[in-house]
Amino acid sequence: MEGWEDLPAREREVGVRAGDAIFLSPDYRVDTRLAAYARSRDFRSCTPETRRNYATDIRLLLDFLWSRGRAWTEAREQDLEDFEHWRRQEKSNPGRIGGTKWDRELAAFMHLYKWAVRNKIVTRNPVATKQVMGRYGQVLTVAEGRAKDARSSNVHWLTPRTWRRWIDVGLRGHTKDGVPESGWVGRIEDRNVAFVKVLVSSGLRRSEGGSLLAFEVPQRRLNGGRYYRGKISAAVTRVEEGPDVLCRLGGHRGRRGLRGLLPGLGGAPRSTTRPV
């Protein structure tokens, strides 16, 4: 871009790396303190998914504080309480969230303000905290506003018949009678069905399943023939070493393995994966 030819050199000079979060205010200014947080070891040591989630959650709080004419360094406990009310209870907010999502946002705020206090950017953490006893007897400081209705998991069981109906109606454009909806254009329905079945049978996250390359597709059958083993890159997971992945598969027109599921690698996928 004209006038920005030296941008890579300028980024290197201030320590900006690829993937760093950039917080831009509504008046198109970059807060140097937030930029320092995004370049800090605290933030960079988080996994890519956590960094992305924290940046998104912090942005929502920044917008809320901006609407009150308040900088993030001027936030008070009352501001956080009002923000929680708006996010969770305010009827005029069409995008209210549950307890689990609120706890994640609160963790992001705690992470930001603990760093800010330690670096003397603010004198006090506006996130109210309390001390609790940990599992092994250690004293932990946690956010006082954690939701009481948060759930660590939200499991819904489907019968095989309901699962097949969900696939046909939700992804293949079928009617309740099991025939394609009139006017349905399912140009990529096979790809979508294959992707969903891979995630369900393996337990991969969307970002993990979506990052699979052709040579990473599980093809090695375990003893017994019901599961195939593969490996995903550590860069897209929350662990340091890429974990093994197990996918439960069936045959596909004489071919075996996940390769028969993926478009361009073995034909259109058709009912080859079964939910575990």
pLDDT tens profile 65-100: 999 999 999 999 999 999 999 999 999 999 899 988
pLDDT in tens, 242-262: 556 656 554 333 333 344 454
Judge whether 242 and 130 are in contact, CB under 8 Å.
no
Which of 99, 104, 67 shows the shortest CA–CA distance to 82? 67
Tell me what the mean pLDDT of segment 116-140 comes to. 89
- Residue 259's pLDDT is what? 47
- What tokens were used for 71? 């900088």
Number of Cβ within 10 Å of residue 197's Cβ equals 25
- Residue 84's pLDDT is what? 94
**pTM for this entry:** 0.65
Higher-pLDDT residue of 274, 19: 19
Residue ranges per structural domain of the chain = 7-143, 187-260
Categorize the per-residue pLDDT at 276 as very low, low, confident or very high, splitting at 50, 70 and 90: very low
CATH superfamily name and code, 7-143 = Tyrosine recombinase, N-terminal domain (1.10.150.130)
- Which of 190-199, 206-215, 223-232 is predicted with the least confidence, judged by mean pLDDT? 223-232
Structure-derived torsion over alpha carbons of residues 239, 243, 247, 251, reported in degrees to the nearest 10: 140
Residue 206 CB partners (closer than 8 Å, separation 6+): 199
* Helix, strand or coil, per DSSP, at residue 275: coil
Pairing of strands 139-143, 227-231: unpaired
Q: What's the CA gap between 1 and 4, in Å, rounded?
A: 5
Buried b (16+ CB within 10 A) or exposed e, 6-33: eeeeeeeeeebeeeebebeeeeeeebeb
The burial of 73, by beta-carbon neighbours within 10 Å (0-12 exposed, 13-18 middle, 19 or more buried), is given as middle
Judge whether 258 and 213 are in contact, CB under 8 Å.
no
Residue 238 CB partners (closer than 8 Å, separation 6+): 47, 49, 50
